[in-house]
Structure formats: structure tokens, C-alpha cells
């Protein structure tokens, strides 16, 4: 849950200075130029932003969000499916150990199912500007703006959009659900959903991480509680994924949310992985793919996608 600050991208690939200028032109051509090129490549590799992916179907999806006098630069990428027509879209909100760049580089399996995938880092994560402030209002504003941009694309069917939130991104996705009925399906993974009950039972590391971002007053925790702001009726499908050995976020948070959603009419599937920590990795893929086939792709009349 700790926020990672954006890296400085200025002049990271500028060639380093050559220590000595006494070399003859012949020696310079044989020794110094290759050395400069090698050092330049090393500097680019270590300090600068890497190329997103060699895949030609990936494009920038970055944008700005204004919240009062504050401006947030949001990192985002979009991976397009090659299938024709208006296809489903999925917005992935990254707020944990991964970021938008790594997300998009591993999204090709979902894209192959016939889904356009947009990966976004919420404020304070990846290369998005911050601070996070424990998923403050800027995170919800980012989610809504990203959803606007995805739904407005001519190659996306706005009636078939899913939102997948990871870590603090799951909290942002849950708060988006509280105010926006457009997502047809939501995937909430390893998040906090009842922050008022979280604070007394949270592990010490989680409490310290929250304190570094915001003072956890009752008002602040209430504002960030997904359960507290749920509408009376919810007409969408929700997949909840959580590790039972999550030391950052108690699995009871996911259990509470599943119960609250079912009481409001949502179609809920919940998977609690007995041996899994906070980072579920690729172990969620079977459940995720099955959920997307049923709730995002079934109406397309296609056979089971792989």
C-alpha cells in the first residue's frame, strides 16, 4: 500500500561526458565511440522509462485529472484486440505492487479473448503523480475519467465494460461502483472495503502505511468505505479475489463486502485462496477468465474464448 513516486524522466538518455579528449581521431573512432554508445545504452536502461511493449496493438492512454487546484498526471496504456466491431472494454486500476506498464505488458491473454484492455495507475502509484492519500477523491476521479475515455472509444461497446481493481485500485474500483452504474462487471482483488472496521484490526504495517498517507480520522475512513456508500440496489456482477494469508489486508474485508453486495442484489462470486498472500499473481487467471466469458463475452454469441 506504500505509494511509489514517479521517476524523473528528464534527460535520462543524454550521452555521458568523455573523460579525456587527447585521443587521436583514429583511436577515437575505434575505442571512444563504442564506449560512449555502451554507456548511453546503459544509462537509458537504468534510469529512463522503458519501452512499453514491442506489441503494435499497445498505445498511450495517459490523461490529466483536476481536483480543485490540484492537477494529476495519470499513467495509462491501452491494448487493442484485433477482432472487428465494437468489443467489450476492461479498465484495470493498479494500486499496489504492479503498475500500468507491467499490467499492459501482461494483458495480451485477455486481449486475445476479444477485449480492449486499458491499464491505469491511480494517483501515487506507477508513474502517476500523487500523493495517494490512501485512495483519496483523486483516485475516484481518475477511475471515472478513465471510464469516460474508454467508453467513448468507437471500438468499445459502452454497454459491456468491466473494471478490475488491484490492491488500493480495488478500493478505487469499489468506490467507483458506489457512484457509477456503467460497469457491467467488477473484479475486486486484495482490497479494503470497510475501512471503519479495518483500522482496529489492521496489521501494524498496514496502519503505518495508512498513516504515511493520511490521518485516519473517522471522517476520512468513512469517506473511503466502499460498504458505507453502496447504493440500495446493485445490478451488476462482481468477482471478489482475496488471499487468506494476506498480511496487508485481512480477508475479512472481502467477506464483509461479498455479504453486503449480495444483500443489495448483486451477482457475487468470491474466491478466497487458502495459501495465497496479498499478491495473488497469476493464480487468479482461471476464475478471472471464466467470469469474463460469462459476464462480458457471453452475449457476443461466441464459443468459449481461450
- Please give the share of the chain, as a percent, with pLDDT higher than 70: 79
Task: Establish if 305 belongs to a structural domain.
Answer: no
Query: CA-CA distance, 190 to 279, in Å (whole number)?
Result: 8
Same domain? For 18 and 63 the reply is: no
Q: How many domains in the chain?
A: 2
Distance CA 6, CA 123 (A): 10
Q: Is the pLDDT of residue 232 over 70?
A: yes
Structure confidence at residue 56 as a pLDDT band (50, 70, 90): confident
Predicted model pTM: 0.80
Whether 119 maps to a domain, the answer reads yes
Tell me the angle at which helices 137-151 and 168-179 cross, rounded to the nearest 10 degrees: 70
For residues 109 and 127, state if they share a domain: yes
Quick one: 189 and 70 in the same domain? yes
Provide the CATH number for the domain around residue 271: 3.40.50.1820
Nine-digit cell string for 125: 502509484
Q: Assess whether pLDDT exceeds 80 at residue 15.
A: no
Is residue 306 one of the residues assigned to a domain?
no
Per-residue model confidence (pLDDT) at position 10: 34
Distances (CA, A) of 45 to 6, 51, 156, 295: 16, 10, 35, 41
pLDDT digits (tens, 9 = 90+) for 168-214: 999 999 999 888 999 999 999 999 999 999 999 999 999 999 999 99
Same-domain pairing of 67 and 182: yes
pLDDT tens by residue, 108-147? 999 999 999 999 999 999 999 989 999 999 999 999 999 9
Q: Are 185 and 239 in contact (CB under 8 A)?
A: yes
Check residue 97 and give its pLDDT: 76
181 and 95 share a domain?
yes
Amino acid at each position: 500500500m506504500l505509494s511509489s513516486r514517479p521517476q524523473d524522466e528528464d534527460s535520462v538518455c543524454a550521452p555521458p561526458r568523455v573523460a579525456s579528449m587527447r585521443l587521436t581521431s583514429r583511436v577515437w573512432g575505434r575505442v571512444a565511440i563504442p564506449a560512449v554508445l555502451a554507456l548511453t545504452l546503459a544509462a537509458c536502461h537504468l534510469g529512463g522509462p522503458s519501452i512499453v511493449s514491442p506489441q503494435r496493438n499497445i498505445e498511450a492512454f495517459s490523461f490529466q485529472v483536476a481536483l480543485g487546484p490540484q492537477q494529476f498526471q495519470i499513467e495509462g496504456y491501452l491494448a487493442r484486440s484485433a477482432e472487428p466491431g465494437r468489443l467489450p472494454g476492461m479498465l484495470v486500476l493498479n494500486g499496489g505492487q504492479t503498475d500500468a506498464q507491467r499490467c499492459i505488458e501482461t494483458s495480451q491473454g485477455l486481449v486475445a479473448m476479444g477485449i480492449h484492455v486499458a491499464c491505469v495507475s491511480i494517483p501515487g502509484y506507477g508513474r502517476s503523480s500523487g500523493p495517494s492519500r490512501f485512495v483519496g477523491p483523486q483516485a475516484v476521479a481518475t477511475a471515472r475519467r478513465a471510464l469516460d475515455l474508454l467508453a467513448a472509444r468507437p471500438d468499445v461497446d459502452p454497454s459491456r465494460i468491466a473494471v478490475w481493481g488491484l490492491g488500493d485500485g480495488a478500493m478505487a474500483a469499489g468506490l467507483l461502483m458506489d457512484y457509477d452504474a456503467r460497469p457491467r462487471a467488477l473484479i475486486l482483488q486484495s482490497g479494503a472495503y470497510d475501512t471503519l472496521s479495518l483500522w482496529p484490526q489492521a496489521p501494524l504495517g498496514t496502519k503505518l502505511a495508512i498513516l504515511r498517507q493520511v490521518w485516519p480520522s473517522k471522517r476520512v475512513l468513512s469517506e473511503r468505505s466502499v460498504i458505507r456508500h453502496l447504493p440500495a440496489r446493485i445490478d451488476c456482477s462482481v468477482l471478489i479475489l482475496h488471499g487468506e494469508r494476506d498480511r496487508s489486508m485481512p480477508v475479512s474485508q472481502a467477506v464483509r463486502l461479498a455479504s453486503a453486495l449480495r444483500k443489495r442484489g448483486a451477482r457475487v462470486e468470491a474466491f478466497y485462496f487458502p495459501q495465497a498472500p496479498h499478491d495473488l499473481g497469476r493464480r487468479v487467471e482461471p476464475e478471472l477468465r471464466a467470469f469474463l466469458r460469462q459476464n462480458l463475452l457471453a452475449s457476443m454469441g461466441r464459443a468459449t474464448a481461450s
